[in-house]
Amino acid sequence: MNKFLQRWTVFAGLVVVWQLAGMAADDPFFPPPSDIVTAAWEWWVLEPQNVTEHILPSIGRLLSGWAIASVVGVALGLLLGRSDRAMEYAGPLLVFLRSIPPPALVPVFLLLFRGGTSMQLATIVFGVIWPVLLNTVDGARSVDVTKVDTSAVFRIPRHQWVLGVVLPAASPKIFAGLRVSLSLSLVLMVISELVGTDNGIGSQLMTAQREFDYTRMWAGIVLLGVLGYGLNTVLLAVERRALAWQPRSRDEQHA
């Protein structure tokens, strides 16, 4: 609890400094938090249609793309992680694809899917699958040799061995990849909405920038920060529940 209060005290102090600096600067490009909160209230609360037209579609794209990438990444990661030959053949291709910046493929996805939700999902999935896939491969390879030998002695069926031995052993690294991919999905959601669509948080950020409404633009940026913090908090809670069987350090127990 003390650490929780300390973290939020530091955050509140930074907000106060930002407020004072913004009021002193009196710069339209650097509005104080009070103006940003006012703009956010007017934009997202007093105009509730913006929630259904922009916020909810963005969240839907983010979670859908992240979920697809997570399922595909975990499935492929378990397969490649337990097969040296498959990883030998697929390794160079994975390195090549991973090296391509996802924003560079936005024009390609625009041509293939002609904009819209399909293009945005393709951008998110391609960009966020790699942390999940590679962490799952690493986790699947780190299964204890004793567990592997014991499973072979008892002739455990393949699917039970994967779900009951490999997946639990790899789950800590899988969740680490899921956290990284969740943050990336928020970034790629915004990038994908900058082109080829007229709704979503990213589209509204671009509109505010073109209309020189910088306070509204900052309100959108703060909204993204709040959204990212909330999603990460939920995922951490799920991770702690799913990995409750694992011993944790004293710092993690009091976090």
pLDDT, tens digit (0-9, with 9 covering 90-100), for 119-174? 999 999 999 999 999 999 988 888 777 666 666 666 777 677 677 778 888 889 99
Query: What is the torsional sign of CA 103, 104, 106, 109?
Result: negative
Enumerate the domain spans of the chain.
55-244
Query: Given this model, what pLDDT does residue 70 score?
Result: 95
Lowest-pLDDT range, 100-104, 157-161, 211-215, 231-235?
157-161
Higher-pLDDT residue of 176, 6: 176
* DSSP structure class, residue 223: H
State the average pLDDT for the chain. Answer: 85
Do the Cβ atoms of 189 and 179 come closer than 8 Å? Answer: no
- Inform me whether the pLDDT recorded for 51 exceeds 90: no
Query: Given this model, what pLDDT does residue 247 score?
Result: 61
Kindly state the average pLDDT of the residues 31-40: 90
- Inform me whether the pLDDT recorded for 90 exceeds 80: yes
Query: What is the pTM (predicted TM-score) of this model?
Result: 0.86
- Degrees, nearest 5: CA angle 92-97-99: 95
Confidence bin at 254 (pLDDT 50/70/90): very low
251 SS3 class: helix
Tell me the chain's radius of gyration from C-alpha atoms: 22
Query: Given this model, what pLDDT does residue 132 score?
Result: 94
CATH entry, 55-244, from 2.60.40.10, 1.10.3720.10, 3.30.1280.10, 3.30.160.20: 1.10.3720.10
Kindly state the average pLDDT of the residues 106-127: 88
Do the Cβ atoms of 185 and 124 come closer than 8 Å? Answer: yes
Kindly state the average pLDDT of the residues 28-37: 89
pLDDT in tens, 174-215: 999 999 999 999 999 999 998 877 888 999 999 888 888 889
Kindly state the average pLDDT of the residues 111-120: 85
Q: Which two tokens stand for residue 12?
A: 């509140």
Which single residue is written with the structure tokens 């625009």? Answer: 110
Do the Cβ atoms of 147 and 165 come closer than 8 Å? Answer: yes
Instruction: From 252, 75, 89, 74, select the one nearest 178 (Cα to Cα).
Output: 74
